[in-house]
Amino acid sequence: MIKLSRIYFRTPWKFENAAGRRRLSVLNKARWMPFTKGPDDIMTETFNQMGYSVDILDPYTAYFLHKMRKPTQPVADLGCGFGIVTKHLLNAGATVIANDISRAHLAEVEDSVPREQRSRLTIVHGDASQLDFPANSLSGIMAGRWVHFLTSPEAYFDFFHRALRWLEPGGSLCVTVHTMKAWSPPEVCAAYEIKRASGMAWPGWVSREMKWEGLRDRLPDRGYAFRLEELKGLVEEIGFHVEKCGLYGLRIPAHPPERQVELAPNNTIGIVASKSISLT
């Protein structure tokens, strides 16, 4: 099982056959991936204190890549970090727009892409939430673990509205974000549950002092920790059709070492949502 998941996460697009699809369905049920490697082997710290870039694929990103096997338009990897998704997309034959707010990350991506693939790669530097692609011009948008750094409800609405506009009808968006459990100790999570139960709107804002000490200098000071139903509800309200969503786990190197395994399950949300073919 462990061996299969390692193979699957590295080569999702190869599963065109029945056996592959069966494996896909088994693995999609996993809520926490039993990584055979330690967190330091799969997570690379970003250069700009924006968390870690991950070099394995979670089930939602893998499903998104599976859908992006024959895109008719470019696919954007927004907040691409060190480009794991960009490279999978390029290997699968897609034309890719790799974006990040860090020029240093983009330089790493560009340098590590084989020369023969570079004609299909466009590098776009800047804040992804402020980009302006033409309407209906993208087959897919990947937003891997940075959307939670947006700092106001308006910024979330604005970004998801833009994403819907940029996608061609039938195109797909994949979003991954961390939950409160990834960022904050249990007592902060418990206080959050009380706020949430009281019916407070947008209860998930997380400030610097609410985070695990080891994460404080590795993340922006403010972020928003969604619950699965909350993020799903938001993208549906914008007009997406949610195809697949759920929780999965990542071991986070900045968590106290003795608690990393306990804190890993269900600390990250994945959503794959599509734009209706009747929308333009």
Of 51-59, 166-174, 195-203, 244-252: span binding ligand SAM (CB under 6 A): 51-59
Smaller CB separation from ligand SAM, 85 or 92 = 85
Question: Which position among 73, 86, 99, 274 is part of the footprint of ligand SAM (CB under 6 A)?
Answer: 99
Smaller CB separation from ligand SAM, 146 or 160 = 146
d(CA 174, CA 50): 19
- Is residue 82 helix, strand or coil? coil
Residue 28 tokens read as 């999609």
Smaller CB separation from ligand SAM, 26 or 104 = 104
Smaller CB separation from ligand SAM, 48 or 280 = 48
Say whether residue 53 binds ligand SAM (CB under 6 A): yes
Site for ligand SAM in 250-269 (CB under 6 A): none
Say whether residue 140 binds ligand SAM (CB under 6 A): no
Question: Which position among 97, 109, 113, 128 is part of the footprint of ligand SAM (CB under 6 A)?
Answer: 128
Say whether residue 45 binds ligand SAM (CB under 6 A): no
Decide if 138 contacts 108 (C-beta within 8 A).
no
Residues 6+ apart with CB under 8 A from 67: 140, 172, 272
Say whether residue 105 binds ligand SAM (CB under 6 A): yes
Smaller CB separation from ligand SAM, 22 or 125 = 125
- Beta pairing partners, 96: 75, 121
Tell me how far, at minimum, the Cβ of 269 lies from ligand SAM, in Å.
Answer: 13
- Count of helices and strands (H, E) across the chain: 12, 11
d(CA 253, CA 46): 13
**3-state percent breakdown (helix, strand, coil) of the chain, nearest 5:** 45, 20, 35
Where do we find the tokens 């897919």?
Answer: 140
Of 142-150, 167-175, 191-199, 264-272: span binding ligand SAM (CB under 6 A): 142-150
Pairing of strands 268-274, 241-248: antiparallel
Pairing of strands 43-45, 96-100: unpaired
Q: What is the DSSP letter of 102?
A: -
Say whether residue 71 binds ligand SAM (CB under 6 A): no
Say whether residue 144 binds ligand SAM (CB under 6 A): yes
Positions in the binding site for ligand SAM (CB under 6 A): 46, 48, 50-54, 78-81, 84, 99-102, 105, 127-129, 144-146, 149
